[in-house]
Amino acid sequence: MIAGYLFFSLLLAIASATSVSDLVGTWTTKSRKVVTGPGFYDPIHDKFLEPNLTGISYSFTLDGYYEEAYYRAIANPQDPSCPKGVMQWQHGTFRVNKDGSMDLTPIAVDGRQLLSDPCESPKGAYTRYNQTEHLKSFRVSVDPYHGVQRLDLNSFDGSPMHPMYLVYRPPQMLPTDTLNPIGTGKPKAKGKRRVKRDTESAFSMKNLVNRETIGDPDRWLWVGVFMTAIGGMTLFRS
Ligand SMILES: *[C@@H]1O[C@H](CO)[C@@H](O)[C@H](O)[C@H]1NC(C)=O
Ligand SMILES: *[C@@H]1O[C@H](CO)[C@@H](O)[C@H](O)[C@H]1NC(C)=O
């Protein structure tokens, strides 16, 4: 009897635990406009492609590779009509630990960040970006409202990130090996020059929604719809 109960509990635990294979795919937040792969970062020209709405996206493969894309507005309390924008892209390998946490280790030379402050300068600051991540836990489930696969990630401190929804399985990703092997020896100067040139041609993040608090994605969706409706009218000085 007790053995049967234990066995049943074990089965239940196995059924409810999220395994690596559940993670496989491309996940994105509700706006669905930010998706990993060649539509977000163009490694050949070493530049970002600006999505139409803010959001984040993660992709995972069964053999331990990940890619992530972030496009977010950063609220500016001094002048709420002047938010900054940031785009970040990284890829590398991930590992699920015994305690259910996850570590993401990027390929340091490949990551990119574009930080834009349109009210200060029409040019963004384009740099390398290398940020390891520790996620305290993760869970894949079927979203009861949308009826689609949903990924919940919890940050290093356990705080929940925006839920993401499955958009591609197998995942949509750039090649998982090093894209930009310019981090060593002599070619480094060349790489730096290239990054600098791109800084000068950086776009103004025209699609940034007006005010972001890392808040309700629904609200951002509607702000986006509104922005589309008023078409062409720009809320940003460039
Ligand atoms: C943004 O929206 C416009 C109009 O719907 C579309 O033509 C364009 O391809 C979109 N851009 C991206 C990066 O999805
Ligand atoms: C990338 O970040 C890791 C972890 O913080 C660090 O150990 C490593 O030296 C960094 N690599 C580069 C090239 O900056």
The string of pLDDT tens digits covering residues 127-184 is: 999 999 999 999 999 999 889 999 999 999 999 999 999 999 999 999 999 986 554 4
Instruction: Look at ligand 1, atom 10, and give the residue with the nearest C-alpha.
Output: 52
Pocket of ligand 1 contains residue 51 by CB under 6 Å: yes
- Max mean pLDDT range (81-85, 104-108, 204-208): 104-108
Any domain includes 183: no
CA angle 72, 208, 180 (to 5 degrees): 55
Any domain includes 61: yes
Token pair 């994105």: residue: 28
* Ligand 2 atom with least separation from CA of 183: 13
Please give the torsion angle defined by the CA atoms of residues 147, 174, 117 and 53, in that order, rounded to the nearest 10 degrees: -30
Alpha carbons within 13 A on the beta-carbon side of 184: 3
Residue 97's domain comprises: 15-177+192-230
**What pLDDT does 96 receive?**
96
Any domain includes 1: no
| Segment 107-129 mean pLDDT | 90
Over 60: is that where the pLDDT of 117 sits? yes
130 alpha carbon, closest ligand: 2
Pocket of ligand 2 contains residue 180 by CB under 6 Å: no
Any domain includes 236: no
Q: What are phi and psi of 10, to 5 degrees?
A: -65, -45
Any domain includes 200: yes
- Work out the mean pLDDT of the chain and round it to a whole number: 77
Q: How close is the Cα of 109 to the center of ligand 2, in Å?
A: 9
- pTM, entire model: 0.74
C-beta neighbour count of 186 within 10 angstroms? 7
Q: Is 211 exposed, middle or buried (0-12, 13-18, 19+ CB in 10 A)?
A: middle
Q: With cut-offs at 50, 70 and 90, classify the pLDDT of residue 16.
A: low
Sign of the C-alpha dihedral, residues 216, 222, 228, 234? negative
Any domain includes 184: no
Token pair 């163009």: residue: 42
Any domain includes 111: yes
Q: Are strands 164-168 and 25-28 parallel, antiparallel or unpaired?
A: antiparallel
Any domain includes 76: yes
Q: How close is the Cα of 65 to the center of ligand 2, in Å?
A: 18
Q: What domain count does the chain have?
A: 1
Over 90: is that where the pLDDT of 104 sits? yes
Q: What is the per-residue pLDDT across 36-63, written as a single tens digit (0 to 9) for each?
A: 999 999 999 999 999 999 999 999 999 9
